[in-house]
Amino acid sequence: MIPRDETRQILNNLEKDKIIILHGAAGIGKSGVLYELTQILKKQSRPYLAVRLDRQQPSNTPRQFGDELGLPDSPVLCLSSLVTGASGVLILDQLDALRWTSSHSSNSLDVCKAIVRETHSLQMMGKHISIVLACRTFDLEHDPEIKNWLSGQVFHDHQCQKIEVKRLPPETVKSVIERAEGNFERLKEREKQILSSPQHLAMWVKLRRDTRIHEFRSATQLMRQFWTDQYRALQTLDITSLEADNVLDDIVNYMEQNAKLFAPATLILHQQRVTSALCTQEIIRIDNNQVSFCHQSYLDFRIADRLLRDIHRRQGDIFAWLGPKEKQSLFRREQLRQVLALLSDEAPDKFVDNLQVLLPNEAIRFHLKHLALSILGQIEQPT
């Protein structure tokens, strides 16, 4: 566990029974902050309920959502019944996932709005209860539904505090790297910046433990090394890369076709030996008869890498992959980021060609053009 300043900020605001909005970039450690928070609450014997909305999507009413969680009533009402001294805490993680993994996103968000209203009503009645909502900064600032709600009058009227999860400070990155017997000073500045993301730092530590790490100029290059190491580890479990790819492709195909972050476990249970190995390597996980990747970036990378191979074989292109506007959802954002980053690293000429197709095209939604421009702006040494 890497202690985070953001966790302390949340705890300080919980004492004031505030509604807290935790936000940050993808892979920056929002869920890690919330996990640290739950461990502290547990030690303090404070009642809390933490829900990942990408795995438990609310529908219809707060009471029905509670029923789906195995509770007798709305989550916040059940939590409030346990509060005797210090405030209870309801944590709703991955709020942004409701907007691009569910065909009923408006209804799911309405349930969350109702839960916030219940929380405020309980506070007005003197109940000590707080709520923590977590989402990506981009969605907080640009998704119309989330932005209008979280920036609206209802939150101005309540006690509300926004807390941004930022990159790890250099001294923390250095401490982790040196514990893994690495040399922080020998890393290039770009590598240090990449490793200031907890997810990338975790990949680096695993690679450091298992094999030799090569130089990486981007997060996608680090990810590619990570997957090479995963295949090597699977081979020690007598799982070939072809066997692993067959199972992973079944999962990816379902998720991509249905714009979801999970798939029915029955899809892969006939490959029990391979499935067990993938779980052992913490590539996938199975909960409540649903399979998901241990981190969303694994899914995004595999979709992006497959498209990149099609582009190199002249069997596909980004425009055809994105499809019509109605299919250009937020689900595609991180995948497009990975595709463009891979092209920038491995085929700069094709990167430029695809940008020249994407940017002036009126059939491409603005949020994807915005992403493409930001990636273009991050190139440190343009050719």
- Per-residue pLDDT, 60: 86
**CB environment 90-101: b (16+ within 10 A), e (fewer):** bbbbbbbbbbbb
**Strand, coil or helix: what is 359?**
coil
Do 77 and 197 have their domain in common? Answer: no
**pLDDT attached to residue 9:** 94
Does one domain contain both 23 and 132? yes
Whether 242 is covered by a domain: the verdict is no
Q: Could you tell me if 217 and 344 are in contact, meaning their C-beta atoms sit under 8 angstroms apart?
A: no
Please indicate, yes or no, if residue 24 is contained in any of the structural domains. yes
Count of the separate structural domains present in the chain: 3
Could you give the dihedral angle defined by the CA atoms of residues 156, 104, 370 and 354, in that order, rounded to the nearest 10 degrees? 170
The answer to whether residue 301 sits within a structural domain is: no
Contact yes or no for 285/294 (Cβ under 8 A): yes
Average the pLDDT over 141-151 and give the result: 78
Average pLDDT over residues 172-186: 91
Give me the CATH number covering residue 117.
3.40.50.300
Q: What is the largest CA-CA distance in the chain?
A: 65
Tell me what pLDDT residue 244 has.
96
What tens digit of pLDDT does each residue of 28-50 get?
A: 899 999 999 999 999 998 999 99
**pLDDT at residue 155, rounded to an integer:** 62
CA distance 233 to 226: 11
What's the confidence (pLDDT) of residue 337? 87
Q: Which residue in 135, 146, 133, 170 sits closest to 25, CA to CA?
A: 135
Per-residue pLDDT tens over the stretch 224-268: 999 999 999 999 999 999 999 999 999 999 998 888 888 999 999
**pLDDT tens for residues 301-337?**
999 889 988 888 877 788 889 888 888 877 788 888 8
Same domain, 193 and 322: no
Residue numbers of the domain that contains 330: 308-377
Q: Identify the burial level of 305 via C-beta atoms within 10 angstroms of its C-beta, where 0-12 means exposed, 13-18 middle and 19 or more buried.
A: middle
Point out which residues pair with 323 in neighbouring strands. none
Q: Average per-residue pLDDT in the chain?
A: 87
Q: 181 and 124, same structural domain? A: no
Residue 157's pLDDT band, with cuts at 50, 70 and 90, is low
Whether residue 35 lies inside any domain: the answer is yes
pLDDT at 104: 45
